[in-house]
Amino acid sequence: MSTELETAVLLTRAHQFDPQALAALHDQLYPQVYRYVCYRVGDQQVCEDISSEVFLRFLVVLKNKQTVQSARGWLFGTANHLVMDFYRKKYRRRDEDLDHHTDIADPHSPEHEVDAAFTKQEVRHAMLNLTLDQQHVIALRFSQELSLEETAQVMGKSINAVKVLQYRALAALRRQLDGR
């Protein structure tokens, strides 16, 4: 059974609040949601909090008997909204250091760690200057490695609109990084 079909079957069972289906959906989709959130937010604790909140809201929606057509689409959409809420609150508090806790991937050399952290910080800061849709498309395409079709479905846009949005987002990101 394909993963998409399997997810659809699990979602049908989850609408009936089947504990095994809920656990299976969580196990299958939590790593993807977490990776998506981490791509947009640098703090590991915040990533865990937001990812957990996404699944709590998913449970509330299912418990209230609201219909969810695509578990993956709903979860990524909700994650996007929670990330935006996080940044709105952060801006209101005038907290300037968005990357206080940088997750460093390669521990081989101190120079590489510093370079990797600096590059990550530069990209994250540059992404904050993109529109919210541009941030969303880049996170879906590159952190989740979704296809154009999947990204269009999650965002509720046409494939051509996603292509244009991605092209403009990458061009804007490139301009900002070249300017630094």
Which residues of the chain does CATH 1.10.1740.10 include?
Answer: 1-103
Q: How many CB atoms lie within 10 A of CB 83?
A: 23
pTM above 0.85, yes or no: no
* 174 closest CA partner among 132, 131, 137, 122: 122
The domain made up of 1-103 has a fold known as: Rna Polymerase Sigma Factor; Chain: A (1.10.1740)
At 42-87, the pLDDT tens digits run 888 999 999 999 999 999 999 888 888 889 999 999 999 999 999 8
Between CA 38 and CA 22 the distance in angstroms is: 23
Q: Which CATH class is domain 105-180?
A: mainly alpha
At 2-44, the pLDDT tens digits run 577 888 898 899 888 899 999 999 999 999 999 999 988 888 8
